[in-house]
Homo-oligomer: A and B are copies of this chain.
Amino acid sequence: MNPIGVFDSGLGGLTVLKELQATLPYENILYFGDTAHVPYGNKSAETIIRYSVAIANFLIEQKIKLLIVACNSASAYALESIQMLVDIPVIGVIEPGAKTAAALSVSKRIGVLGTKATIRSNAYQTSILSLAPGAEVFPVCCPLFVPLVEEDYLGKPAAKLIVCDYLSSLKKHSIDTLLLGCTHYPLLKKLIVNEVGPLVKLVDSASTCAGQAKEILEDLKLMNESPNPFTRFFVSDDPESFKRAGGLFLRRPIDHVETVSELYQKI
């Protein structure tokens, strides 16, 4: 059975992959990390679309049955461009996250954390408001969260201070739900809960996205039952550091990573 394609600007989408493997344990999966261009969060819309479309084309050539745009910045800017190009279902992380947040929130006061590109896109804000008109959405850019995760710096006192800085503005808004609008942020959950308190419901785009993927495959009768599913990893640059840091996300080692830089340059 054809695999599911997942792509991200780099490592972050591995949180989505992990949830997919838990939710759909019999699926074959191709994961592409665009490590030659990471991060997307500080790039323009045009550039994010260009990179995303190239990767989508590569994965489509590998005959995937469903494409998951696991990067929030790419979901915010490039989802429609990709959907226009291809004839398989394409889902991002924004809509599933927004849907869950809108459903879970009682007070309809919802915080959203994200990279600069994601927050600037207003994608979460717009999506939540379309589902829960009248909701109040409080977006916060957290540009240092990704480097803190990737440098394995979360156990240090500096990480706690930075989380406190970024979230301080949210505290006065009495939110009851907080959307983690970046694939890296689930790794910061403990620090975030310490800051906002246990009563605020955290919504994690990775797990809501995996749930939507399952619904789609069930609806289209495309579920795989393979007893020995495979996951293949592709990167556009530097497989070694992807392997090393990828372990932080998956909590298990990554044995083999394929580099497709030559192919990708031509696209």
Binding site for B on A (CB under 8 A): 35-38, 42-44, 46-47, 50, 116, 143-144, 147-148, 150-151, 153, 156-159, 161-162, 165, 237-238, 241, 261, 265
CA distance in complex: A36, B36 (Å): 10
Nearest neighbor of A164 in chain B, beta-carbon distance:
B158
Which residues of chain B come closer than 8 Å to A165, judged between CB atoms? 156, 158
- Besides A143-B151, A158-B159, 10 new A-B residue pairs in contact (Cβ under 8 A), listed by A number: A35-B42, A36-B37, A36-B43, A37-B37, A38-B42, A42-B241, A43-B238, A44-B237, A156-B165, A158-B161
Q: In the complex, are the beta carbons of A151 and B156 less than 8 A apart? A: no
Task: A214 to B151: give the CA distance in the assembly, Å.
Answer: 38
Contact at B144–A151, with CB atoms within 8 Å? yes
Taken together as a complex, chains A and B put the C-alpha atoms of A156 and B164 apart, in Å, by 12
Q: Which residues of B contact A265 (CB under 8 A)?
A: 50
Q: Are the C-beta atoms of A237 and B47 separated by less than 8 Å?
A: yes
CB distance from A229 to the nearest CB of B (A): 30
Query: How long is the Cα–Cα vector from A47 to B261 in the complex, in angstroms?
Result: 9
A156 touches B161 (CB 8 A): yes
How close is A122's CB to chain B, nearest CB, in angstroms? Answer: 16
Residue of B nearest to A157 (CB): B161
- Do B42 and A36 touch across chains, with their CB atoms under 8 A apart? no
Within the assembled complex, what's the spacing in Å between the Cα atoms of A168 and B46? 42
- Which residue among A43, A148, A156 has the maximum number of chain B CB atoms within 10 Å of its CB? A43
Known A156-B165, A158-B158; judge A46-B261 contact (CB<8 A): yes
Measured in the bound complex, the distance between the Cα atoms of B245 and A116 in whole Å is: 13
Contact residues in B for A153 (Cβ distance below 8 Å): 144, 162
The smallest C-beta distance from A140 to any residue of chain B, in angstroms, reads 13
**Could you pull out 17 A-B pairs where Cβ atoms are within 8 angstroms?**
A36-B43, A36-B47, A37-B37, A38-B42, A42-B238, A44-B237, A46-B261, A47-B237, A47-B238, A143-B147, A143-B151, A144-B144, A144-B148, A147-B147, A156-B162, A156-B165, A158-B162
| Neighbouring B residues of A143 by C-beta, 8 Å | 147, 150-151
> Among A47, A158, A161, which residue has the most Cβ atoms of chain B within 10 A?
A158
Query: 5 closest pairs, A vs B, by CB?
Result: A44-B238, A158-B161, A158-B158, A147-B147, A47-B237
Closest Cβ of chain B to A13, distance in Å, is: 16
